[in-house]
């Protein structure tokens, strides 16, 4: 039995690791063009990009590990069935459950690993990535500014830039928000560029050839136009860093912090459904590894196909159904049609129950 167990596990881990490496690589490659643009065109330091990459990988693993588990199981049992090795095992008097059990234990162990990842590692990396983005923005503001969109990352200012080339800005429109319900002050310039002061978390915006609205000393609610050749604006990013430090988003919180947040919201009379749904979703996603192990083993034995394309197609179909169910359950939970502690587990319950039903019929013969 030990030889047979090691044989099956070796087969599974080969497919699993290959799938995990390929899927993670493809997801990273999806951002390669944007990253190459940040390095080549925007001049962002490679060390900053590597740091962001390191924060991204744990998040990707929450999706690639379950999908790779399903793929590995389907390919393993599909090949064993297709080569009639399952029939040979049954003929020798070995119950099929004994060859399924080792991979189910591996699936459970991977789920427990994802629990740790979702509870400790991913909240930290998500929080650190938000901070890293702001720090990169302080050193190289143009790197994360997009032409043709309104930018509100700077305190009291909303900026619209028609064209950005490296650190050079063209056709700039700036709205400075005023207090006491006064209309915003408008500044327009033909050209501009950023001058960073990282140690103070300040970015100086140098504007060239433009006009600015200046308040009338006699009536601050009125403005008059002032032409300028050169004009400097201090854009403060320190508040962004302080806000990140003080206010955590749900994705920045571990399970205990999320539970505390739910209790705080209940005490204040606020509906905590969204936070509770997020908590249950992270836990349920962790156990998708085990669920995929059960359904994957059943379908691999039923299809009896050693063709990788067929098994990969089945894996894609199961993953698609699972995440569609997850999205539907999330919508039902958030809108109050079903309790999050039930709703967010529906995909696992449906897929897992189907797998157990199929396995019970397979093992009965």
Contact status, residue 158 vs residue 151, Cβ threshold 8 Å = yes
| Per-residue model confidence (pLDDT) at position 97 | 80
| Per-residue model confidence (pLDDT) at position 364 | 64
Kindly report, residue by residue over 124-141, the tens digit of the pLDDT. Answer: 888 887 777 766 666 666
Say how many C-beta atoms besides its own lie within 10 A of residue 135's C-beta: 17
Tokens of 22: 């390929």
Query: Mean pLDDT over residues 310-337, rounded?
Result: 90
Residues 6+ apart with CB under 8 A from 99: 4, 5, 8, 86, 89
Kindly report, residue by residue over 34-93, the tens digit of the pLDDT. Answer: 666 555 555 566 676 777 778 888 888 999 999 999 999 999 888 877 777 777 777 777
Tokens of 331: 């919508």
Q: Kindly report the backbone phi and psi dihedral angles of residue 200, in degrees, each rounded to the nearest multiple of 5, phi listed first.
A: -110, 5
| Per-residue model confidence (pLDDT) at position 247 | 66
Say how many C-beta atoms besides its own lie within 10 A of residue 301's C-beta: 21
Per domain, the residue ranges of the chain are 2-138+248-364, 154-236
Taking the whole predicted model, whether its pTM rises above 0.85 is answered as: no
């Amino acid at each position: 039995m030990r030889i047979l167990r090691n044989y099956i596990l070796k087969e599974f881990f080969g497919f699993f690791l290959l799938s995990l490496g390929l899927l993670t690589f493809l997801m990273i490659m999806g951002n390669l063009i944007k990253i190459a643009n940040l390095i080549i065109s925007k001049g962002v330091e490679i060390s900053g990009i590597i740091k962001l990459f390191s924060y991204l990988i744990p998040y990707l693993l929450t999706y690639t590990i379950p999908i790779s588990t399903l793929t590995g199981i389907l390919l393993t049992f599909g090949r064993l069935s297709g080569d009639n090795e399952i029939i040979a095992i049954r003929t020798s008097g070995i119950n099929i459950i004994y060859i399924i059990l080792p991979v189910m234990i591996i699936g459970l162990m991977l789920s427990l690993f994802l629990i740790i990842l979702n509870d400790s590692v991913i909240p930290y990396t998500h929080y650190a990535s938000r901070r890293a983005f702001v720090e990169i923005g302080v050193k190289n503001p143009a790197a994360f500014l997009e032409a043709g969109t309104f930018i509100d990352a700077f305190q009291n200012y909303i900026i619209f830039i028609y064209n950005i080339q490296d650190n050079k800005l063209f056709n700039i429109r700036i709205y400075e928000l005023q207090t006491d319900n006064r209309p915003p002050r408008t500044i327009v310039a033909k050209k501009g560029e950023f001058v960073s002061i990282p140690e103070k978390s300040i970015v100086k915006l140098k504007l060239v050839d433009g006009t600015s609205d200046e308040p009338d000393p006699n009536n601050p609610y009125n403005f008059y136009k002032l032409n300028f050749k050169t004009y400097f604006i201090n854009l403060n990013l320190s508040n962004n860093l302080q806000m990140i430090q003080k206010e955590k988003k749900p994705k920045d919180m571990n399970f205990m912090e999320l539970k505390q947040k739910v209790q705080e919201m209940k005490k204040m009379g606020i509906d905590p459904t969204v936070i509770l749904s997020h908590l249950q979703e992270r836990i349920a996603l962790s156990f998708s590894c085990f669920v995929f192990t059960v359904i994957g083993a059943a379908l691999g034995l039923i299809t009896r196909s050693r063709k990788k394309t067929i098994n990969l197609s089945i894996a894609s179909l199961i993953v698609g159904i699972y995440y569609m169910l997850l999205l539907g359950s999330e919508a039902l939970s958030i809108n109050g049609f079903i309790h999050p502690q039930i709703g967010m587990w529906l995909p696992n319950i449906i897929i897992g129950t189907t797998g157990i039903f199929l396995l019970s019929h397979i093992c009965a013969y």
